[in-house]
Amino acid sequence: MSPQNIFKKSLLLLRSQRGRDTLMFLLFVVISAVLWCVLTLNEEEQRDLRLPLRITQVPDSVTLISNGPEALNVSIRARGTQLIKMTMGGAPPVNVDFRAYSNQGVLKLSNADLKALVRNAVGGATTTVVYPDTLSLYYTTKAGYPLPVKIDYKAAAAPQAAIVGRPKLSIDSVDVYMAPGYNIPDALPSTSTEPLRLPGLDKTTTVRTRLIGPAHSRVVPDSVDVTFTVEPMIFKSRKVVIEPINVPSDVKLITFPAQIDVFFMVPMSAYSKGDLRFRVVADYSTIDTQSDSRMVKLSLMDVPAPLHNVQLTADSAEYIIERK
């Protein structure tokens, strides 16, 4: 059937008595639905919301020791239209004017204050519950105490890798602000990072971590970046002369061989350096002259920090003693 024929047939159906009755029924259904929506949206409902908390009008000379909670958990009674508006437009913030509630180092709000602020934020809706129910936030106008930053960490490299040098901080000192009536403890020479536990590092890693200050304080900035430099390890060997030690002045200790191969692993950045010096020693005081053995134990000394897994090809060498 062509579209033109379908249109003509539909038009004849609507002009019939049955079509007019159907249209009238649908019209009443629409009117009823609209009336139901209007009545429903005008009814009050109880709803739990989480409203962002903002402290405004804070002078530049003031440092808040605590910013307080990020949001208030509230329970309100409001009309459906108000709830839809808050749902569609996002939760409205609760603004606390610092100038109105600050007094002698404390920003203090009672339960009644918080309910009034919430009621203003939600367009006059009835506020039944606010949590937290009160706020007491310390602030100070004094300058901060500069303190160095100490890293609390335990880090280990993965196999075939090494941590090179000490961890690096993005900043080496911070300002610590104390609440009124409190001072920096005498036994606190520095601030500390939160404990860092980093096993199996296989590449250079930077971690953002918070700083821990004394009680009733605020640390600015409150976090730092800690960088651990990690490099791959390279296998290397060196021939080292065996050095006799603790030898009496009238005696000469001669070892066979006079040199020994030492194998070790070194970070890539230190591979080409020629100042990686260490010693292989034969300690005369460990020789038992009454024994038939002609072997003296060999030991490593003064091994520099960059070297890892340092090993000798032999742990002892033959010797002879000559009298001068």
Residues 263 and 219 in one domain: no
pLDDT tier at 147, thresholds 50, 70, 90: very high
Same domain, 158 and 94: no
Q: Which of 47-51, 63-67, 176-180 has the lowest mean pLDDT?
A: 47-51
pLDDT value, residue 221: 94
Identify the pLDDT of residue 39.
52
The structure tokens 């009160």 sit at 134
Write the burial class of residue 118 (CB in 10 Å: 0-12 exposed, 13-18 middle, 19+ buried): buried
Statement: residue 82 has pLDDT above 80: no
136 and 52 share a domain?
yes
Note whether 29 and 88 are same-domain residues. no
In our burial notation (b when 16+ CB lie closer than 10 A, e otherwise), range 73-84 reads ebebebbbebbe
The two structure tokens encoding residue 111:
């339960």
Give the span between the Cα atoms of 312 and 262, in whole angstroms: 5
Q: What is the pLDDT of residues 220-247, one digit of tens each?
A: 999 999 999 999 988 888 899 999 999 9
Same domain, 189 and 237: no
Proportion of the chain above pLDDT 90, given as a percent: 45
* Tokens, residue 107: 């920003």
Q: What was the pLDDT predicted at 306?
A: 80
Nearest residue to 219 via CA among 250, 177, 184 = 177
Candidate from 180-194, 268-282, 307-321 with smallest mean pLDDT:
268-282
Residue type, 299: S
| Residues 89 and 155 occupy one common structural domain | no
The larger pLDDT score, comparing residue 83 to residue 167, is at 167
**Do 71 and 11 have their domain in common?**
no
Place of tokens 């913030």: 93
Using the 3D structure, point to which of 228, 248, 267 is the last residue of a domain.
228
Residues 87-136: pLDDT tens digits?
Answer: 665 778 899 999 999 998 999 999 999 999 988 888 777 788 899 999 99
- Residue 278 burial (CB count, 10 A): 15
Is there a cis peptide before residue 93, judged by omega within 30 degrees of 0? no
pLDDT tens-digit series, residues 61-81: 999 998 889 999 988 876 666
Domain boundary among 94, 112, 140: 140
**Is the confidence at residue 292, as pLDDT, over 90?**
no
Same domain (yes/no): 173, 190:
yes
- Going by DSSP bridges, is the β-strand pair 94-97/44-56 parallel, antiparallel, or unpaired? parallel
Q: Is 8's pLDDT higher than 90?
A: no
Domain CATH code at residue 182:
2.170.120
- Rounded Cα distance, 114 and 127, in Å: 10
148: pLDDT confidence band, cut at 50, 70 and 90? very high
Q: How would you label 234-267 residue by residue, b for 16+ Cβ within 10 Å and e otherwise?
A: beeeeebebebeeeeeeeebebeeeebebebbbb
Residues 107 and 153 in one domain: no
Q: Show the domain range for 111.
A: 47-140
Alpha carbons 213 and 78: distance in angstroms, whole number: 43
Identify the pLDDT of residue 13. Answer: 58
The alpha carbon of residue 291 and the mean position of all alpha carbons in its chain are separated, in whole angstroms, by 62
Single residue among 228, 255, 280 that ends a domain in this structure: 228
Do 60 and 126 have their domain in common? yes
- Distance, in Å, from the CA atom of 14 to the CA atom of 316, rounded to the nearest integer, reads 112
Does residue 167 carry a pLDDT above 90?
A: yes
CATH number of the domain encompassing residue 275? 2.170.120.30
Whether residue 16 is predicted with pLDDT greater than 90 in this model: the reply is no
Confidence band of 84 (pLDDT split at 50, 70, 90) = low
What pLDDT score was predicted for residue 35?
56
Q: Domain check: are 132 and 66 in the same one? A: yes
Tell whether 20 and 70 lie within a shared domain. Answer: no
Provide the mean pLDDT of the chain: 84
Q: Is the pLDDT of residue 271 over 60?
A: yes
Q: Is the pLDDT confidence value at 10 over 80?
A: no
- Number of folded domains that form the chain: 4
